[in-house]
Structure 1
Amino acid sequence: MMKRPLWRLGAISLLGLFAGVLTTCTTALASSVERHHFDAPTLGQAYPYTVYLPDGYDDDSDTVYPVVYLLHGSFGNERDWLAKGNLQQTADRLISAGHIPPSVFIMPGSHSWWVDGHNQPARSAFFNDLMPHVEEHYRVGTERSMRGVGGLSAGGFGALNFALERPDLFAAVAALSPASYAPYPPSNSSANRHPSFLNDQGEFDRQLWEQLNYTAHLEDYRLKVTPRPTVERSEVPPVPLYISAGRRDEFDAEFHARQLRQAMERIQPHAVNLDLYPGGHTWRVWRASLPAALTFMFQYVEPPKPAENV
């Protein structure tokens, strides 16, 4: 019997699955990492991003690859996932071991919490500028089944919101220690001082937070992904969600992650995974949970395929 690749296996326990793989895999892959920027009309300025291209990627080939967008945290930048998150090494090892397929990773930079906030329209720029740019310049799939989105902290807040708002665009989402606080961010959260949420008086805009937090998207999302009584399936499938958090997170991320899981399980009871790690709101936790997050996502995001099959 032919074995299926691990990224196509069914639901599995992901926490700690790859500790041995990531330390013993020695196959060298010729992946590449590039930094670019382009003029973004929505922002009225340059939009920076870093891209990971897998071993064997060729602009002239007939293969199209899945693409995963990884969002950084508050006051971060497009270099964080590489410099601090070990994205290239982790992706190389997971691909070499067969746990995920060769894929393109896009790591954009933003001065926002990935929202159309008081300082810049980051949410609109992501959908209207970044995604079209990526799909024009890289050999990536342009349908839902070949896209994923993930992020850490404020990037987890953004990734979750993107998936809830546009479930027609993403096959899976990963939120690592998401800053998706309900009803409001804790007093020590940078959301309280970030330009995205500061009004003209320099005060935290609670009404804007309520409008942009995941809780504001849940009902519309439920209606989109829940089958109507007269049909077996909804037109838009639910977006499977991976969540992780550190047990000693200073922003009480475990509590908020459990609250998020409970809310999402009411809508999609068999498509939510929560892993808890020792540690706080740190890169140590995010590096540890990244392999599980990616492998979860690639249970749903499709592998590379010939262009004629797209």
Structure 2
Amino acid sequence: MQPWSIEWKGRLVEHVFMSEVLKGNPLHDPYERPLWVYLPPGYDDDPARRYPAIYMIQGFTGQLDMWRNRTAFRKNFPEMVDELFTKQETPPCIVVWVDCWTSYGGSQFLDSPAVGRYHTYLCDEVVPWVDLHYRTLASREHRGIAGKSSGGYGAMITPMLRPDLWGGFATHAGDALFEMCYLPMFPASVRALREHYDGSYEKFWQVFRSRVPLTRESDFNLLNDWGMAACYSAEKDGTVKLPYDTTTGELIPEIWERWLQWDPVRMVPRYAKALRSMKAIYIDAGRHDQFYLDLGAEAFRQALELIGVRDVFFELFEGTHSSIEYRYPLSLRYLAERLAP
């Protein structure tokens, strides 16, 4: 295989999407965003045929062009998508890649006064635009969403919040069971602030923006804590509230509780009706995930079982949080089979 070129059987169309709801966002991030739409082989041959649509969203710090990143001796994900549908063993789908990057690293696909209205952008701008411009089967029964890590988080919570739009989802190591995936990072963040930034997030951001970012391993912890707080516990005026004391690491219970309200595991009982209506739920994670998201995956599965949702694909595979893009075609095929007419 020549890693720098393939012969596409379908086609990937690249757009620049102008969002109205992201104009004037608190971080002054771009409101013109890249949007990719993959059309499967045969799309142009039958102008009457319509297709399910599956939306792909990215993890924290992800931006759209990263989908083209290549691991040694492997195809990148858009190439894997084309290979999957070229084999004609999977019901053909339209695949949509959405960019929700922010200068804090991500949006968690929520509306936040500190970050912007990324949930509204995804659900009320991008989805209707795709349905208008492409031959989708424009109903929830034929629309799914998938992602990894924070993208997996978005894939879990978006259909809970908007079951009128989404009929299935796939989460690869999605952020869940927050005391396992986030809480262990807090002490390391407090030490990093003390050792490198005079105990101040203001100093961290000043240094971060004045040099090549993420030069220290601990910088990712600091970026992640702040980015999550901006999504889960910002005040109405956009002030970011951290769930711990930056000197001692002591939890601030009322702010931590605001985070827990957005934990997918804890959201399941509140959104039981929406989850019971899903046509497809796919959950997986590596058994040795560095952020213990295998534990979150199991906790999410158990929460679903408690509300009576048992028709779920679930697997803990041998692997970590890294280099698991080979899993994406598995979930894409699962969603395609469940969401096809």
TM-score above 0.5: yes
Residues 192, 198 of structure 1: 8 Å contact kept: no
Residues 59, 138 of structure 1: 8 Å contact kept: no
Residues 65, 104 of structure 1: 8 Å contact kept: yes
Match of 1:17 in 2: none
Whole-Å separation in 2 of the counterparts to 1:214 and 1:225: 11
Match of 2:40 in 1: 54
Taking every aligned residue pair, what percent have the same amino acid on both sides?
Answer: 26
> What are structure 1's unaligned runs of at least 5 residues?
1-26, 227-236, 304-310
Match of 2:264 among 188, 205, 214: 214
Shift of residue 302, structure 1, vs aligned partner:
1.1
Match of 2:111 in 1: 116
Match of 1:273 in 2: 313
Shift of residue 33, structure 1, vs aligned partner:
1.6
Change (3 A) 1:39 1:291: closer
Of 242-251 and 176-185, the range deviating more from structure 2 = 176-185
Whole-Å separation in 1 of the counterparts to 2:44 and 2:163: 30
Match of 2:80 among 80, 87, 90: 90
Match of 1:104 among 94, 97, 108: 94
Whole-Å separation in 1 of the counterparts to 2:270 and 2:63: 31
Match of 1:223 in 2: 273
Shift of residue 208, structure 1, vs aligned partner:
4.1
Cα deviation digits, residues 79-113 of structure 1 (max 9, x gap): 23343582222222222333322211111111211
Whole-Å separation in 2 of the counterparts to 1:116 and 1:298: 28
Supply the RMSD in Å over aligned alpha carbons: 2.5
Match of 2:327 in 1: 289
Matches within 5 A, 1:122-137: 122-137=118-133
Change (3 A) 1:78 1:208: farther
Match of 2:295 in 1: 255
Change (3 A) 1:38 1:145: same
Residues 63, 139 of structure 1: 8 Å contact kept: yes
Match of 2:201 in 1: none
Residues 173, 284 of structure 2: 8 Å contact kept: yes
Count of residue pairs the alignment pairs up: 265
Of 64-73 and 216-225, the range deviating more from structure 2 = 216-225
Whole-Å separation in 2 of the counterparts to 1:243 and 1:208: 25
Whole-Å separation in 2 of the counterparts to 1:49 and 1:33: 10
Whole-Å separation in 1 of the counterparts to 2:157 and 2:14: 26
Match of 1:35 among 8, 14, 17: 14
Whole-Å separation in 2 of the counterparts to 1:197 and 1:270: 29
Matches within 5 A, 1:96-245: 96-110=86-100, 111=102, 112-117=107-112, 118-183=114-179, 185-188=182-185, 191-194=224-227, 195-197=230-232, 199=234, 200=239, 203-204=242-243, 206-215=256-265, 217-224=267-274, 237-245=277-285
TM-score under structure 2 normalisation?
Answer: 0.70
Shift of residue 73, structure 1, vs aligned partner:
0.4
Shift of residue 269, structure 1, vs aligned partner:
3.6
Residues 115, 212 of structure 1: 8 Å contact kept: no
Residues 186, 251 of structure 1: 8 Å contact kept: no
Cα deviation digits, residues 153-200 of structure 1 (max 9, x gap): 001101100122223322321000101233572343664121434742
Residues 113, 158 of structure 1: 8 Å contact kept: yes
TM-score under structure 1 normalisation?
Answer: 0.77
Shift of residue 59, structure 1, vs aligned partner:
9.5
Change (3 A) 1:28 1:267: farther
Whole-Å separation in 2 of the counterparts to 1:217 and 1:241: 16
Higher helix content, 1 or 2? 2
Report the residue type matching 1:193 in the other structure: W
Structure whose CA Rg is larger: 2
Change (3 A) 1:198 1:34: farther
Whole-Å separation in 2 of the counterparts to 1:150 and 1:245: 13
Residues 167, 239 of structure 1: 8 Å contact kept: no
Divergent runs of 4+, >4 A: none
Change (3 A) 1:224 1:301: closer
Match of 2:194 in 1: none
SS at match of 2:89: coil
> What are structure 2's unaligned runs of at least 5 residues?
1-5, 24-30, 186-220, 244-254
